A and B are shown apart, each in its own frame.
Chain A
Amino acid sequence: MTILQFSDSPDAKHQVQVRAQAVFVDGVCVEVRKHAQAGFICTQNGRTERLLAVSHGDTIYVQLRGRSVRLQRVDPTRAARAGTSAGGGGGGASLAPMPGVVVALLVAAGQQVKKGDALLVIESMKMQMTISSELDGSVKELPLAVGQTFQRSDILALVITNGDAL
């Protein structure tokens, strides 16, 4: 059994089980036949479509009728950990929306910031983006220095509400 999630809705986890000529998706049987390179003919509920799908690491790219969808394979142990560590991370963590490099740090650790204040500037593919604070509080962490690279979803800054335990 494997757990998959759509990249645009990571909260919903789906259980899939691959069998000969079929895949069980959250307990529902979808008929699947391999068709040419990366092609899969799926039949479900009377409807048949040809989909294209390829995987790269834990990311899977699927195309249905010209529309592309990205999915992630979820490590079940990590999924379980995430479920039990409620309150960790939290609303003050600014995650990288894309892989890239830090161009400028606009605040220092310990500094007081307001929601919407610019914290740092990142760059990817020649595009710069300003990362702003999600809340009023103080800057707890700026884990990266100028020039350091990061991957998508890495923590770029952590701001905590004043009064929260450091």
Chain B
Amino acid sequence: MKKTIKKLFIANRAEIALRILRTARRLGITTVVPMHAQDQNGPALSQADEIVEVFGTPAVAAWLNIEAMVAAAVKTGCDAVHPGYGFLSENAAFAKAVEEAGLIFVGPSAKVIELMGDKISARHFAVTQGVPVTPSADEADNPATFEKRALETGFPLLIKGAAGGGGKGMQIARNEQELSQAIQVARAESLRYFGDGRLFAERFVVQPRHIEVQVFGDSNGKVIHLGERECSIQRRFQKLIEESPAPKLPGDLRERICAAAVKLASAAKYENAGTVEFIVSPEGEFFFLEMNTRLQVEHPVTEMVTGLDLVELQITIAEGKDLPLEQHQVQFSGHSIECRILAEDADAGFVPDTGKVLLLSEPSGPGVRFDCGVTQGSPISADFDSLLAKLVVHGADRAVAISRMRSALAQTTMLGVTINNDFLSRVLHHTAFASGDTDTGFLERYKADLTPEALTLVEQQMVLAAAASAAPDISMTLIPEPYASMGAWRN
């Protein structure tokens, strides 16, 4: 059934709301974006055709409220909902509620989300399709013997929530002693984030690369892939740097991985955008990890190397139209890298930071794309995810992309909250990264190399001098004594 989308509700916020809005606007689609009292500075809000206020405490609850999100879309006369990533994007009940309200859900059907969005059922399905998976133990098979079966799988073990994603609720156990605590923490986190405490244990492949395949399916059952992305630079199981194509991946292995992804998506009768994630061992074995039934954070690297607009493809398919291109028409050109700019202190163990964007200066130049979710003046609170912006570059080859990224990172200024651009820059300058020797243990292995050098005495003096000059209360030298010596505490 073909239907044209005229007005789109973007059930998200920050950079991805703006990203979706840009494509919708280009396609002549009217956009509606939700706004919360705690989140009024997002760049999408100033560009949306309409804004609808949403409520909830904490603020994130507003974006997780299925009823309220659907009601907001209906109230504003939208005929479709784009969930973005995170929040309700992989929630089958949300997709169903949108459809039941008579609106188009820009994503796969609720049924497919149920099958492929759940790690355990997706894994069972992969096994039936002959796609390799790692040895594992599923709590649902028999909760009473779960710990024992997990033990038998062998260490190191990854304990994760059956309904999880994005690294939330994941724990690693290196030996029997660590197992029960890992189970306890994973269950608590999983319950809290996904409302589902069911667990799953699987063998942790040592020094794996994280390689994922972007797939698209349409209502005629046609499935194509848009190549792979390597996302091995991770901390706490969360991606920090992604690139396409994967460096040092032999051509035949790449073909087999992409073919496995297409096979899995075809068998699932997958419609719209999806990502099939694999881990690849140093020996070249690959195992199905999970499928993300939505647009990924790192989708821009695929856009850079294919020249395609993934949100446009999503909308085309959601309208019931066919995929506009065949597999052989997908052309890959050059190399693309994405860095996630996060509000965190990478040198202090990647702890999140809060503050306010007091000074923002965006990088630019040939092959540079900056998808930014904040504006100057945006408060950065603990209410939302720490992702502030995505810096994406494209170059004729990987070396050019790396040099462009180094220079773009140095140009990125966001003062008023601690961000990780210096840390990312040190990764981009590391020789092992430059030579493509990336696996998920990279940041841990090179921790010492990635620690910043101490400032020299002269640099310290300059920093202190600039700091003193920038703090208004203490640079008021004209205030007469004794008030001047009381500085900022004079009231």
Q: Do A and B come from one complex?
A: yes
Chain A residues close to B by CB (< 8 Å) = 1-2, 4, 6, 8, 14, 16-20, 23, 25-26, 28, 30, 32, 34, 37-38, 40, 42, 44-45, 47, 49, 51-56, 58-71, 73, 75-77, 97-101, 103-104, 118, 121, 124-130, 149
Evaluate contact between A60 and B467: CB separation under 8 angstroms: yes
Interface string of B398-412 (1 = CB under 8 A from A): 000000000001110
Interface string of B24-57 (1 = CB under 8 A from A): 0000000000000000000000000000000000
Evaluate contact between B465 and A23: CB separation under 8 angstroms: yes
Assuming the A-B contacts A44-B461, A67-B422, A68-B421, are A23 and B468 also in contact, with contact meaning beta carbons closer than 8 angstroms in the complex?
yes
Q: Which interface class (under 10, 10 to 19, 20 to 34, 35 or more) fits B?
A: 35 or more
Pick from A8, A25, A104: contact of B188, CB under 8 Å: A104
The binding surface of chain B is classed by DSSP as helix
Any A CB within 8 A of the CB of B189 = yes
Assuming the A-B contacts A62-B470, A66-B421, A125-B382, are A97 and B462 also in contact, with contact meaning beta carbons closer than 8 angstroms in the complex?
no
Q: Which residues of A contact B352 (CB under 8 A)?
A: 98, 100, 124-125, 127
Assuming the A-B contacts A56-B358, A63-B413, A77-B489, are A18 and B463 also in contact, with contact meaning beta carbons closer than 8 angstroms in the complex?
no
Identify 8 new A-B residue pairs, CB closer than 8 A, beyond the known A34-B469, A52-B359, A56-B358.
Answer: A53-B470, A61-B418, A63-B415, A99-B354, A124-B352, A125-B352, A125-B385, A127-B386
Cα separation A62 to B471 with both chains bound (whole Å): 11
Cα separation A131 to B470 with both chains bound (whole Å): 35
Cα separation A67 to B419 with both chains bound (whole Å): 10
Q: Nearest-CB distance from A124 to chain B (Å)? A: 4
Q: Which residues of A contact B193 (CB under 8 A)?
A: 126
Stretch with Cβ within 8 A of A (4 or more), from B7-15, B257-265, B342-350: B342-350
Evaluate contact between A2 and B477: CB separation under 8 angstroms: no
Q: Which residues of B contact A56 (CB under 8 A)?
A: 355-356, 358, 416
Q: Which residues of B contact A62 (CB under 8 A)?
A: 415, 463, 466-467, 470
Evaluate contact between A40 and B469: CB separation under 8 angstroms: yes
Evaluate contact between A19 and B477: CB separation under 8 angstroms: yes
Evaluate contact between B468 and A18: CB separation under 8 angstroms: yes
Q: Which residues of B contact A75 (CB under 8 A)?
A: 489
Q: Which residues of A contact B472 (CB under 8 A)?
A: 55
Q: List 21 A-B contacts (CB under 8 A).
A: A2-B488, A23-B464, A25-B465, A26-B464, A30-B464, A51-B462, A51-B463, A52-B466, A56-B358, A62-B415, A62-B470, A63-B415, A64-B459, A67-B422, A71-B463, A100-B352, A103-B188, A124-B382, A126-B384, A126-B386, A129-B351
Q: Nearest-CB distance from B259 to chain A (Å)? A: 35
Q: Which residues of B contact A38 (CB under 8 A)?
A: 358-359, 415, 470
Max count, chain A CB within 10 A of own CB: residue among B354, B416, B468: B468
Q: Which residues of A contact B386 (CB under 8 A)?
A: 125-127
Evaluate contact between B463 and A64: CB separation under 8 angstroms: yes
Any A CB within 8 A of the CB of B192 = yes
Q: Which residues of B contact A126 (CB under 8 A)?
A: 60, 168, 193, 384-386
Q: Which residues of A contact B97 (CB under 8 A)?
A: none
Max count, chain A CB within 10 A of own CB: residue among B185, B353, B384, B461: B461
Q: Which residues of A contact B488 (CB under 8 A)?
A: 2, 58, 73
Evaluate contact between A2 and B474: CB separation under 8 angstroms: yes
